[in-house]
Amino acid sequence: MADEKDAVSAGDQALADEWAAALNEAGEGGQGDIDALLAADAAQQPKGARLPMEEFGTPPKPVENFGLEGPNLDVILDIPVMISMEVGSTEINIRNLLQLNQGSVIELDRLAGEPLDVLVNGTLIAHGEVVVVNEKFGIRLTDVISPTERIKKLR
């Protein structure tokens, strides 16, 4: 037990010594050093050469990195997103939730045969119907929401 405490304290001491050496190497700079650097910088700049400060609320300057075919989307093409299909939803109180067991039926807010919602990262992007592909469920998109409509729903 005593050996473990000595080993830990020796390791802590070594780390403290490294920090102390690094701080001594860096020197002790105070406000005077900062003021001297600012004064030297101001002396190098001609009078009135400061750039005007941009006010908050002004739109940023547009970046012109568009090619003939539009913006370069290669940067974001490999970002993974979560896609999910929503059959329907409902609200129930906790009492009824705790009473659920195998064989319970929960009534949803959708009619049978109504299209499913296709969500990407929780945002509705399309509607579709369930299909079977190679013995697995899939979805056939029946209606894709336009990008402008998606942006309107975000606001």
Given a cut of 60, is residue 8 above it in pLDDT? no
pLDDT at position 104, please? 92
pTM of the model: 0.47
- Average pLDDT score, the chain: 77
Which regions of the chain does DSSP assign to beta strands (E)?
Answer: 83-86, 116-120, 123-133, 136-144
Q: What is the mean pLDDT of residues 91-96?
A: 93
pLDDT at position 112, please? 86
- Local structure of residue 43 (DSSP, 8 states): H
